Structure 1
Amino acid sequence: MGDQPRNDLAAIQRRKLALYGWMLMAPSLALLSLFAFYPAIATFFGSLFTRGTTRRPSSFAGFENYLDLFADPTFWTVAGNNLIYAGVTIPVSIIFALIMALWANAHIPARSFVRSAYFTPTILPMIAAANLWLFFYTPDLGIIDRITGFFGAEPTNWLGQPETALAAVIIVTIWKEAGFFMIFYLAALQTIPPDLREAARIEGAGRWTYTRRVLLPLLMPTTIFVFVNALINSIKLIDHLFILTKGGPNNASKLILYWIWEMAFAYFDRPHAAAMTMMVLLVLGIVAIVQFRLVEKRTHYR
């Protein structure tokens, strides 16, 4: 009989702790429900209906909007553009960010100035950065054509031809993002004990061996974090497209989010835009699962 009051007291304590936990989670749950869960659910249901007009209201279409996207050649063009865009900007930005962080972390003259110079593009809004790069890409008058003109090269419409438009957009993104990712690598480098470098030197390890066997494994959690951010940015960045190419010429530089905006607000085809949005969320969800279930378990140095 004496155990019953203790069990009741323990149950009350567990309920109190559970209540405290829900109270602490309530603000975050409210914000997520308002700005993440509800919009995602509403978008999913919106993708299952046809586009309505004043004469013909929308009707349930099932997954017909998704099938229409797969049958649209523009979908495959835009998806291919985004794959190329992500496949180039993500690794190149990470490599440049790591190189800049290693240099900015070294004992060099004017180290603070170097760090500020690398980080300056990150401070600029993407619209301002795109307008700045227009001075580089303008045919015949831009800085690039002025430099290549000294070597006898003909002026090139970098943003107006399909062969170079996407590459020009990619260069702007790398220039803008590398300095931002450098900050994370720089912070991670400053947490690595200097004793490891001294121990490696005593063992006879050179700079490359130390970097490959010690430094890069220790930076792997930061690399995964930067990779996920770079992947998200490769899908969500569209500001510079409004200034540089508007997705042209002939969809050569059009990316997924710009196409979604175009369908929803330029062509008022919101059901297909909602379907495309759900596919993007599905891909990002798969990437998140792979990161947390598989990759993150192998990132820590042992």
Structure 2
Amino acid sequence: MANFGVGMLYLSPMLVLMTVFTFYPIMKTLYYSFFATNAKGEPVLFVGLDNYTDLLASDSFRTSMKSTFLYVLYTVPVGVALALFLAVIASEKLRGIEFFRVIFSSTIGVSVAAGSTIFMFLFHPSVGFLNHALSWFGAEPIKWLTDPHWALFSVAVTSIWMGLGFNFIILLGGLQGIPEDIYESATIDGAGYWTRLFRITLPMVSPSLFFVIIVTVINSFQSFGQIDILTQGGPAESTNLIVYSIFQNAFIHYKFGLASAQAILLFLVVLLVTIVQFKVGEKKVHYQ
């Protein structure tokens, strides 16, 4: 019992911080989701599950959820695969490879605001570099951020670039943790590069890969800054992801109860997706 008390004493600072900044806001959000609120965010009328039923019956909410899942589908597989590809290249023992490791990981030091601003200029319809490059091949300019068919894709490209540095560093660390004697034994047994890659490298780096996938999925569901800077949820709500929709309902339309219900639904969706990932993906993870 004394040991338990000592342990709780050491944990108490973190427990206090988590209670104030995590558990209390979650419970407050759940409480607000059952109320209609005034412009100050004060609960004025208990509505029960009406906020949830209104959301599920709303075309705007369904569009927002569809856009969110498409965005996750665009960003996660490509972002993780690209980071893994670069990490495999950067793990080779070549002269000057340290320079490329710095370049590949550099996006981790770029803020969402700075990264979004960079791509805003790249996507500019008249002076942007991408349309300028298309003109070299005689192609028509693309309205990257103002065409509903291209806007979500454009934001996804921005997010992939901004998340590349973090994913690269984690995967490179996993690759560098693989013992060299395993590769030496495989080489002696006659295993070629591709055999070593698929039979040794990928299974051994699977814990890091699994972690990166989990974190990337959660971050994709929570994307906000690049949406706010690049498209503000438009055009035609094609990039109105669920987090940006929560922001609009709470701080533009002052429907804090409805926004709270959206936040709870998003929490449940992310929780369900994460549980499925652990149930399905963890079986394929090779722990040393």
TM-score by length of 2: 0.94
Contact persistence 2:204–2:287 (CA under 8 A): yes
Matched, 1:125 2:111: yes
The number of equivalent residue pairs is: 287
1:91-240 equivalences in 2 (<5 Å): 91-240=77-226
Pairing partner for 1:71 from 30, 34, 57: 57
How much does 1:122 deviate? Answer: 1.9
Does the 8 A contact of 1:85 with 1:170 survive in 2? yes
More displaced 10-residue stretch of structure 1: 106-115 or 247-256: 106-115
Query: For the residues of structure 2 that align with 1:231 and 1:171, how far apart are their CA atoms?
Result: 15
After superposition, give the CA deviation of every residue in 1:73-127 in whole Å (9 maximum; x if it has no partner). 1111111111011112111111111111111111223212101111222211111
Secondary structure of the residue that 1:86 maps to in structure 2?
Answer: helix
Say whether residues 1:39 and 2:17 are aligned partners: no
- Per-residue CA distance 1:142-194 (angstroms, 9 max, x = gap): 10111111221222211001010000001011111112100011111111111
* In 2: Cα distance, 1:97 partner to 1:53 partner: 44
Q: Separation in 1 of the partners of 2:231 and 2:63? A: 16
Matches within 5 A, 1:245-264: 245-264=231-250
Q: Which amino acid aligns with 1:28?
A: M
C-alpha separation between the residues in 1 aligned to 2:135 and 2:280?
Answer: 51
SS in structure 1 at match of 2:45? coil
Secondary structure, counterpart of 1:225 in structure 2: helix
Amino acid at match of 1:40: I
Q: What per-residue deviation string (whole Å, max 9, x for no partner) do you get for residues 218-251 of structure 1?
A: 1111111111110111022211112211110010
Q: CA shift at 1:297, angstroms?
A: 5.5
Structure 1 CA distance for aligned equivalents of residues 142 and 274 of structure 2: 41
Structure whose CA Rg is larger: 1
**Aligned partner of 2:134: which letter?**
T
Alpha-carbon distance in 1 for matches of 2:287, 2:39 = 58
Q: How much has 1:301 moved relative to structure 2? A: 4.0
Contact 2:35 2:43 in 1 (8 A): no
Aligned to 2:258: 272
Q: Which moved more, 1:116-125 or 1:93-102?
A: 116-125
Q: Does structure 2 retain, via aligned residues, the 8 Å contact 1:217–1:299?
A: yes
SS in structure 1 of the partner of residue 235 of structure 2: coil
In 2 relative to 1, CA 111–269 (structure 1 residues): closer, same or farther, beyond 3 Å?
same
Asked if the contact 2:36–2:44 (Cα under 8 Å) also holds between the matched residues in 1, the reply is yes
Which ranges in structure 2 are unaligned for 5 or more consecutive residues?
Answer: none
Quote the Cα distance in structure 1 between the aligned partners of 2:39 and 2:92.
Answer: 63
State the partner residue of 1:10. Answer: none
Spell out the pairing of 1:5-20 with structure 2 (5 A cutoff). 15-20=1-6
The CA distance in 1 between the partners of 2:64 and 2:52, in whole Å, is 15
Shift, 1:270, TM fit:
0.5
SS of corresponding position for 1:59: strand
- Following TM superposition, by how much is the alpha carbon of 1:131 offset from its aligned partner in structure 2, in angstroms? 0.9
For 1:299, give the aligned amino acid: V
Contact 1:140-1:156 at 8 Å conserved across structures? no
1:88 to 46, 54, 74: 74
- CA–CA distance in structure 1, aligned partners of residues 134 and 39 of structure 2: 53
Show structure 1 runs of 5+ residues with no match. 1-14
- After superposing the two structures, state which structure 1 stretch, 80-89 or 102-111, moved more: 102-111
Gap change, CA 1:148 and 1:293, over 3 Å in 2: closer
Contact 2:32–2:43 (CA under 8 A) maintained in structure 1:
no
Q: Aligned match of 1:282 in 255, 268, 271?
A: 268
Distance 1:132 1:189 in 2: 31
Q: TM (normalized to structure 1)?
A: 0.90
